[in-house]
Amino acid sequence: MFCMVRDTISRFRDIILKLAILSASMILLYPIYKLVLSSIIFSYAVYPSKRYIRSVVKSNNLATLLTSVLWISVLIYFIVFLINLGLGAVTDLYSVSQSPEVSALFSNAQSFLENNAVGSTLIAQIDIRAFLSVVGNYLSRLLVSIPGVILQVFAIIIFSFYFLRDGGDFIELGIKQMGKSNEGSLREALKKLDNVFRSIIYGYLLSAVVIGLLVLAVLLILNVPQAFVLALVATIFSVIPLFGPAIPSIVAIIYFFYTGAYVKAGFMIIVWFGLTFVDDLVRMFVSRRGIKKEYKLHPLLFIFGIIAGPSLFGPIGIVVGPMIFGALTVLLDVTNGSK
């Protein structure tokens, strides 16, 4: 009897100690949890390429370094590309605003407001100095935050390197802490979780990014206005099969018919069917990479995750949100299976 009581106390003591350590770790990591989540997701997403490089380069450290440099370079290039697109859009907008037609439009609007009682009251209430002060304060805060952003990016790079190199060891350590009696069921749950996460990252996100980039390239070649915005719409709606390429294609076709560019409109119709075919090819490729249908997250849950995730986790929530829904589906599956 005494031995049973002692074993029970010892078991509860170990559980309480582990919970205390886990709680202390969560408290310490809370200020940087977004950086940690970003690093974990980045490491998980690029791990297949690290595994391939590791088959060529036997050193784990070297394979991790090469993988990190490769994908960080790709991300930097993509960010610079987006910045250039944004600057180009701002430049175009400024050029349009300086055109005689727009200047005449603003002059007519100002004359109308000045001759109208309500309009003159609104103009009197506009404080240009206050507006410029708000803009100046925003720009100053933006400049002050640049060193912090650089520090966060540097931290993400370091975290990602170690998660990519030692992630498997971290998982094994966590499994051992749960006890041998739970090891089998825990490994099975992690396997299902891995399949769901792969279906999210490589199934939905990869397909959406490929379609978005193809749409962007085609629209830029054809000089369609707001090509970046339309490509972004295609990327978002690509979670619904065949729906992503349709929206920008229809908008571009309408634009070409409106401007009288009938040849480009016909070419865009052909491109639309081509993008639909590519969409099918990408999804077929993903399905052949070992992602079974039962592990695919429902598109509606994926959209819920994209919408809810950023409000809780910031920009990285676009990925974290769907992954949380995926983890919940695995938890429900494991719970039902254990009954």
Residue 86: what pLDDT? Answer: 65
**Non-local CB neighbours of 229 within 8 Å, separated by 6+ positions:** none
- 5 occurs within a structural domain: no
pLDDT of residue 4: 56
Q: 187 with 304, same domain?
A: yes
Mean of pLDDT values over 7-36: 74
pLDDT surpassing 60 at residue 292: no
The larger pLDDT score, comparing residue 112 to residue 203, is at: 203
Residues 116 and 228 in one domain: no
Gap between the Cα atoms of 318 and 312, Å rounded: 10
Question: How far apart are alpha carbons 231 and 213 in whole angstroms?
Answer: 7
- The whole-angstrom separation of Cα 182 and Cα 177 is 10
If we measure between CA atoms, which residue out of 224, 221, 229 comes closest to residue 254? 224
State what percent of residues in the chain have pLDDT above 90.
0
What would the pLDDT profile of 244-271 be if each residue is shown by its tens digit?
778 888 888 888 888 888 888 888 888 8
**HSE of 237 in the Cβ direction (CA atoms, 13 Å)?**
16
Does 190 share its domain with 327?
yes
Q: Say if 23 falls within a structural domain.
A: no
Residue 19 lies in a domain: no
CB 320 within 8 A of CB 313: yes
Cα angle 206, 209, 213 (rounded to 5 degrees) comes to 140
In 3D space, the residue among 318, 290, 316 whose CA is nearest the CA of residue 304 turns out to be 318
Q: Which domain holds residue 128?
A: 35-171
Picking from 136, 171, 206, the residue at the C-terminal end of a domain is 171
Tell me which of 147, 171, 195 is where a domain ends. Answer: 171
pLDDT in tens, 163-212: 888 888 888 877 777 777 777 777 887 888 887 787 777 767 777 778 88
Q: Are residues 126 and 80 in the same domain?
A: yes
Residue 144: inside a domain: yes
Residue type, 241: P
Would you say residue 128 has pLDDT above 70?
no
Of the three residues 171, 194, 210, the one that is the final residue of a domain is: 171
Total structural domains in the chain? 2
The predicted pLDDT at position 89 comes to 63
- pTM for the structure as a whole: 0.66
- How buried is residue 117: exposed, middle or buried, by Cβ count under 10 Å (0-12/13-18/19+)? exposed
For residue 88, the model assigns a pLDDT of: 67
